[in-house]
Amino acid sequence: MIRDFFLGFIKLHILYHASREPIYGLDFIRELETHGCRLSPGTLYPIFHKLEKQGYLVSERQVVDGKVRKYYTSTPRGKDALLEAYTKAQELLDEISNIKTLAAD
C-alpha cells in the first residue's frame, strides 16, 4: 500500500514540474533524489508513458548533444488534474493533521 501512495505522489510531482517547464527522465530522477526519492528509469518511464496515454502529458523529442531526448509537458487536462489533486490532498491533510494525537492513544 505504501508503494501505491508513493507512486501517486510521484505522479503529482511529475504533473507539477511538467506544468512549470518541459521535463525529461534523467533530470527528473535527479529532481526526485533531492527529495530523498530513488526511482529507477524502469519505474519512471512507464509512469511518463501512462500519463501521456491518459492525456495528462504530451511529449516532444529533441536532439541534445547528438542524442534524442523526450521532453514531457503537462496538458490542460494534466494541469486540471493537478489542481484537483491539490485541493483533495489539502482537505485530507487538514483532516488528518491530528495524526500525532492518534499515535499517542
CB 70 within 8 A of CB 60: yes
pLDDT of 72 higher than 80: yes
Mean pLDDT for the stretch of residues 71-98: 93
pLDDT of 101 higher than 80: no
The CATH number covering residue 14 comes to: 1.10.10.10
The residue to which cell 505522479 is assigned? 11
First and final C-alpha spacing in the chain? 23
List pLDDT tens digits, range 2-23: 778 888 899 999 999 999 999 9
Q: Average per-residue pLDDT in the chain?
A: 91
What is the count of structural domains for the chain?
1
pLDDT of 65 higher than 80: yes
Where helices occur in the chain by DSSP H, the ranges are 2-20, 25-33, 41-53, 76-95, 99-104
How sure is the predictor about 93, in pLDDT bands with cuts at 50, 70 and 90? Answer: confident
CB 32 within 8 A of CB 13: yes
User: What residues make up the domain containing 97?
Assistant: 2-104
List pLDDT tens digits, range 21-33: 999 999 999 999 9
List pLDDT tens digits, range 38-55: 999 999 999 999 999 999
pLDDT of 99 higher than 80: no
